[in-house]
Amino acid sequence: MSGNGAKFGADLAEAVKGYVARSLADFEARHLELARRVSDLEERMKAEKPRVRVPVGSERV
């Protein structure tokens, strides 16, 4: 490979590494945001009480 070709290859490799690093960081940020939303929803579901009351002694079959 000539000097220019080697430089091009090195520059291309650096560009690809940068792209992959940014993509991974973006993916991780979105994953953390979704995990936070799921956690918030789970906490909200735990806090809500069931709205249907079944009288004591009655059973559903």
DSSP string across 8-54:
HHHHHHHHHHHHHHHHHHHHHHHHHHHHHHHHHHHHHHHHSPPS---
At 6, the amino acid letter reads A
Give the other-Cβ count within 10 Å of 2's Cβ.
Answer: 7
- pLDDT tens for residues 32-41? 999 999 999 9
pLDDT for 61 beyond 70? no
Domains of the chain: which residue ranges? 20-46
Q: What is the percentage of the chain residues whose pLDDT exceeds 70?
A: 82
